[in-house]
């Protein structure tokens, strides 16, 4: 499932990926220092995330318990594809060219990319 998350939604999802399920009060407390969000803001964010299919909840006890439905890796892949589409017209080559020209790649980055490309070419044994 491909779900694009806003920056705020990423903050909430990261808390759920760290530990789930969580109640609204637990999430509010966990996010308070970083975001200053009130309980009503957390409720609004959870409603949006449920509508997107990113989270769900369990009834029971005194409070609903929320948990992620999508994995961090799926969300990251959707975000990467969205970014490439918006900024580089979907061209990975254009993005890499921009990174090389800005000298944003370290030797370690280059070695990691070379290993990835080698695996993609099917030549790694």
CATH number at residue 17: 1.10.10.10
Asked if residue 11 lies in contact with residue 25, where contact means CB atoms within 8 angstroms, the answer is no
Task: Judge if 98 and 81 occupy the same domain.
Answer: no
Q: Which domain holds residue 123?
A: 91-125
- Give Cβ neighbours of residue 119 (< 8 Å, ≥ 6 apart): none
Reported as a single tens digit per residue, the pLDDT across 56-103 is: 999 978 899 999 999 999 999 888 888 878 887 877 788 778 878 887
Task: Judge if 36 and 62 occupy the same domain.
Answer: yes
Task: Judge if 72 and 117 occupy the same domain.
Answer: no
Q: Where are the beta strands (DSSP E) in the chain?
A: 55-58, 65-68
Task: Judge if 101 and 83 occupy the same domain.
Answer: no
Picking from 5-14, 15-24, 109-118, which range would have the lowest pLDDT averaged per residue? 109-118
- Give Cβ neighbours of residue 35 (< 8 Å, ≥ 6 apart): 8, 11, 41
pTM of the model: 0.74
Task: Judge if 110 and 86 occupy the same domain.
Answer: no
Task: Judge if 62 and 110 occupy the same domain.
Answer: no
Reported as a single tens digit per residue, the pLDDT across 71-83 is: 999 999 888 888 8
Task: Judge if 109 and 71 occupy the same domain.
Answer: no
How many domains does the chain fold into? 2
């Amino acid at each position: 499932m491909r779900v694009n998350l806003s920056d705020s939604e990423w903050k909430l999802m990261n808390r759920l990926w760290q530990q789930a399920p969580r109640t609204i009060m637990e999430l509010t407390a966990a996010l308070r220092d970083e975001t200053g969000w009130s309980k009503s803001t957390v409720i609004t964010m959870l409603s949006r995330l449920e509508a997107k299919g990113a989270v769900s909840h369990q009834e029971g006890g005194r409070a609903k318990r929320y948990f992620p439905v999508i994995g961090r890796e799926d969300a990251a892949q959707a975000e990467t594809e969205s970014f490439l589409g918006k900024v580089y017209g979907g061209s990975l080559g254009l993005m890499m060219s921009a990174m090389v020209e800005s000298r944003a790649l370290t030797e370690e980055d280059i070695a990691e990319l070379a290993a990835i490309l080698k695996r993609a070419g099917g030549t790694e044994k």
